[in-house]
């Protein structure tokens, strides 16, 4: 089958969620308006996640996976997904399924006119501390990036794959995807999506990951922006 959309599902120690991921993603694929496949990126899980992923991929031809030799972080997992995607469009959703795969349809409604469409969780179902820290982090990022996004960390996005593959690798990249598309002269949009509480597994980010590390990443982004090389070929022979 020729696929048009690859949905990246990064995971690290998510054995409690993977059966639900299989069910929800198969339900979406069966009703998707375009041919869609799933790419698991196992970020060096130490639990039973890899075996479960292999079983899922053997049962369903729409699923495939890559596995890191050791944990490399969410940004590396997303970048690997971009690198291995072979479709015109690449999506991204977290394995905790706090966002709804069917909301990819809301992003697909807009992608013809944009190079990245991201959701924003306008009614988040997280703890007060988590919501506050994310709000502060997003506000600080906007000071640096001026990308106009309210929720750059939202784990539901669709990107044109040729743009995604040109995003350079750096730690914290997942927080700056809209800004990196803007650096390429691309067009971005955000749309409101649903959000749900995490019902299984353990969150991988604490207060330090949501405040201190993102601030450090903002300075890395400023360096990237100053030194970023962007070009378009006019003619060739």
pLDDT higher at 220 or 17: 17
Indicate if the pLDDT at residue 9 is higher than 70: yes
Q: Kindly report whether the global pTM for this prediction surpasses the value 0.85.
A: no
What percentage of the chain has pLDDT greater than the value 70?
Answer: 82
Q: What is the pLDDT of residue 108?
A: 97
**Coil, strand, or helix at residue 43?**
coil
Give yes or no for residue 161 having a pLDDT over 70.
Answer: yes
> CA-CA distance, 113 to 109, in Å (whole number)?
9
Least confident interval from 141-145, 153-157, 218-222: 141-145
Please report the pLDDT score of residue 61 as a whole number. 97
pLDDT at position 129:
53
What domains does the chain contain, in order, with CATH numbers? 5-227 (3.90.550.10)
Q: What is the pLDDT of residue 236?
A: 79
Name the helix (H) or strand (E) containing 7: strand 5-11
**CA distance linking residue 196 with residue 232, whole number of Å:** 41
Cα 182 to Cα 190: distance, rounded to the nearest angstrom? 13
Contact 173, 10 (CB under 8 A): no
**208 falls in which pLDDT band (50, 70, 90)?**
low
Hey, how many other C-beta atoms are within 10 angstroms of the C-beta on 221? 23
């Amino acid at each position: 089958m020729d696929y048009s959309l690859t949905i990246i599902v990064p995971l690290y120690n998510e054995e409690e969620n993977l059966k639900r991921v299989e069910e929800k993603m198969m339900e979406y694929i069966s009703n998707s308006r375009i041919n869609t496949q799933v790419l698991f990126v196992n970020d060096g899980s130490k639990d039973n996640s890899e075996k479960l992923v292999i079983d899922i991929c053997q049962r369903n031809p729409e699923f495939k996976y890559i596995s890191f030799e050791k944990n490399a972080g969410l940004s590396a997992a997303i970048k690997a997904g971009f690198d291995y995607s072979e479709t015109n469009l690449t999506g991204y959703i977290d394995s905790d399924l706090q966002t709804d795969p069917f909301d990819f349809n809301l992003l697909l409604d807009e992608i013809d006119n944009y190079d990245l469409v991201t959701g924003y969780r306008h009614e988040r179902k997280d703890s007060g501390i988590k919501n506050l820290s994310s709000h502060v982090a997003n506000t600080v990022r906007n000071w640096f990036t001026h990308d106009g996004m309210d929720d750059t960390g939202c784990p539901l996005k669709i990107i044109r794959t040729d743009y995604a593959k040109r995003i350079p690798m750096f730690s914290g990249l997942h927080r700056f995807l809209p800004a990196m598309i803007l650096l390429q002269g691309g067009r971005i949009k955000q749309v409101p999506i649903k959000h749900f509480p995490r019902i299984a597994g353990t969150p991988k980010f604490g207060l330090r990951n949501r405040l201190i590390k993102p601030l450090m990443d903002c300075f890395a982004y400023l360096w990237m922006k100053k030194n970023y090389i962007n070009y378009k070929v006019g003619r060739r022979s």
